[in-house]
Each structure stands twice: as structure tokens, then as C-alpha cells.
A = this chain, B = another copy of it.
Amino acid sequence: MKVQGLRGTRDFFPEKMRELNYLFSTWKSVVEGFGYEEMDGPMLEPAKLWTLKSGDEIPEQMYLFKDKKGMDVAVRPELTPTLARMVADKQKALIKPIKWYSIPRCWRYEAPQTGRLREFFQLNVDCLGTDSMQADAEVIVTAINIMKAFGCTKEDFFIRLCNRKLISSLLLSFNIKKKDLQEVSRWIDKKEKLFDKDFIKGLKSLELGSGQIDAIKDMLKMDFSKVNVNELNEEGKQGYNELKELIGYLKDYNVLDFCKIDFSLMRGFDYYTSTVFEVYDASMEFRAIAGGGRYDDLVKDFGGDRCPGVGYGMGDVVLGLFLLKKGKMPNLQRDVDYYIAPVSKEVVKQSIKIANKLRKKFRVELDLSNRKLKKQFDYADAINAAKIVIIGERDLKLNKVTIRDMKTGKEKKVKISEL
């Protein structure tokens, strides 16, 4: 009986797995260069990890079920609450700053569409234990360096950047009520996907007047240099200064020309408290390639002491589509050094011995089914073997084998002892 995989999932045949591993190894090499250490948590977690603090969108899209003991279990939709739980659990023993990365496999139940699958992988980079904007700068720079490591330039991507405290203070200065801030933020977050009239309708449903709506629309397009600091409350001033300091560090890192302050940037998660940022496609064709921010209260929310933190997630799906579109996904080939071709069943024993020897240093495939030499050559070609070692009875009597270079087609006889 033929069985199909679930909708929104992918089968990683080796060609696709090579692409996935290319993303993983590039991610790892950049963030390990900054001293981040790999960690991970379980794939299933108590559902309350997300129902507590992630706003509405994530729990709605979660794979949720009751286990055999009636416990509410979630297939993780993201890693950050797990990370906060782990920090809260071992907080005293952990050296600060905590610099962690992870590549969790995650699930969301939503209609599969371009860039959104039900199963995906997501690089997480997090720095906890310091309030300093130097940490925010560092994690943003890791994201920029990752994009550069994939061969992307300023023409391909940019960083959208803002600060939650600053945005909230601006919204409050338009006489929007504190209790409505979250809902207003959600409408702003959704704005790009909406017609203007639906956006306005949404804000009006929160009883905002047209003066307020105009003020919001102006804010979304505002230049950072135009912010009137005097109109900000204390928290807003703090956010303003944080953003200014962050920009200073990004300048020191020589990446400021990758960054753009954008007051329309909200990020969907309710746990961000200060810096928010996204890696964005310069042609605006794709969804955000990565997104994150500062979450200073999350560890405390999970029963720990206060432990400020900043981090981001970069999924494999949008990134993969983006790199393919930009022609930046390399043509990754199978990598076999030697294919060993016994000419007959009589030389299998010697072939095994030679394979044993070569495998100490090389990737070696050996015929497993006594195929004709012609078929073996076709196979060696198909698996992209660099060289074929032909094991023949006559050669063996002279303690020799024939090596064929698959690129040049040239053959030479080599003593077995010299292999």
C-alpha cells in the first residue's frame, strides 16, 4: 500500500539533504566563530510553555495533543521558551553571558504555502545575561555574516531594525490606550499583507480616530532622525537611547549599511521587550529570512531570576528558496574518492582487503552485487566517483591493480602496496 507523507512536510532525499547540510554547516561555522555553543531541547514539550507567553498566533498553530496520561503535549513550534526554561533551571551554574545556538526541528499547523511549511528547521542564536546593546549588535552581526557566508551582498538583503519601547511610547503619544497597544501592534505587523482599507478598518475596530490612524501611518514611514525625543515617555527615551547605542556598535562592526531602522517592524511574538530586527530580502519578494529581538523578561516568566537576553531565529525554508532564487545555492555533488570494481566473484576477497585499506583515508565504495564491469563503470559515474580501482585476476598475480581517473579517462597500473 502506498502511503503519502503528511502535507507540508519534506522528504530529504540525499540531494535535498546536501542542501540542508550546507545551510547547517554554514550556520554553524559562522556562529561558532563568535563563540556560540550548540544546545538543544526536546522535540515534544508541555504545551503550557507556549500557551503562557507567546501571544495567540503560536498556540493556534501548534500541534497539540494529550499523551496517554492526559498531559497536554506540544510539538515545539519554536525553541525560545525551551531555552528560557533551561536557563531558569540551571541559572546559578551557567557562566554569563550564555552564548547558545541550536538548529531545532519545529512544527506549525498552518496552510502550507510558499516559504511556510509545517515542518522546518530554524537556527536559533541567543545571548543571555547582559543588558548591553553590544550583545544585540553581536547577534545581528552573526546574522549578517551568515548571509555574507552564503554569498549574499547589500543588493540581496538588509536588516530591518527597531525598538519595542520606542514604538510603544510613540503609539502612547498618539493617545492610544495602553490596553490596546498589543492589538494595534498586531495590525501593524499584519499591514503588509493587507489592503490599506482593511488595515484602517482593523484600527477603527479598536476605536481609533482618523487622526490617530494618520499618526500611525506617518510613524510607519518615519525617519529615526525625526523622532521628537521630548514626546517620549521614560521608557520611550530608554528605547531611543538603546537603538542609538546599537547603531553605534553596528557602525563599529562596519555593517551599518546593511541596516535600516523601520518603525513598521513589530514581530509577532509578545515576549520581545526592546530591540526587534529582521533579515529581509532586498527585493521584498520573500517573507522575513530571520527575525528576533531582546526578551528581557522571559527567563523570569519561566520561574528564574531576571536574565536579559537577545536572539533570533532563521528558518531553512525561506532561506533555501531565497538562495535558490538568487543562484546562491551551490551545486552540491556526491563525494566518493574511489569506487572499487572487482572483475569477477573470484577477486571479491582481495577487493574487500583493498577497500579496507583505502577506507583508512578515503571515501570508498565497493561493488556489492557482482555486476558486470560495464554496469559498475556506469554506477561509478552516476555516484560521481573520482577514481575507479579495477581489481582483475591477472593484475592481482603481479600484486597490482588498475586505477582509472574518471575525469581524464586515463588508466595506470599501481602496486597494491603503494595504494
With A13-B39, A33-B359, A34-B363 given, name 14 new contacts (CB 8 A): A2-B89, A3-B49, A3-B302, A5-B42, A11-B86, A43-B43, A44-B63, A44-B75, A44-B107, A99-B365, A127-B368, A134-B368, A135-B369, A249-B352
A382 within 8 A of B: yes
Map CB proximity to B onto A6-30 as digits: 1 under 8 Å, 0 otherwise.
1001111110011011000000000
Encode contact with B along A56-91: 1 for CB under 8 Å, 0 otherwise. Answer: 000000010111100101010000001001101110
Known interface pairs A362-B33, A369-B130, A369-B132. Does A39 touch B14 (Cβ–Cβ under 8 Å)?
yes
Interface presence of A35 (CB below 8 A): yes
Residues of B within 8 A of A17 (CB): 37-40
The complex places the Cα of A252 from the Cα of B145 at a distance, in Å, of: 50
State which residues 75-126 of A face B: CB under 8 Å: 75, 82, 85-86, 88-90, 95, 97, 99-100, 105, 107, 109, 119
Determine if A95 and B63 form an interchain contact, defined as CB atoms under 8 angstroms apart.
Answer: no
What is the bound-complex CA distance between A48 and B134, given in angstroms? 51
- Residues of A participating in the B interface, judged by any CB pair closer than 8 Å: 1-6, 9-14, 17-18, 20-21, 32-35, 37-46, 48-49, 52, 63, 65-68, 71, 73, 75, 82, 85-86, 88-90, 95, 97, 99-100, 105, 107, 109, 119, 127, 130-132, 134-135, 138, 145, 249, 252-254, 301-303, 334, 336, 348-349, 352-353, 356, 359, 362-370, 379, 382-383
Q: Closest B residue to A136 by CB, please name it.
A: B368
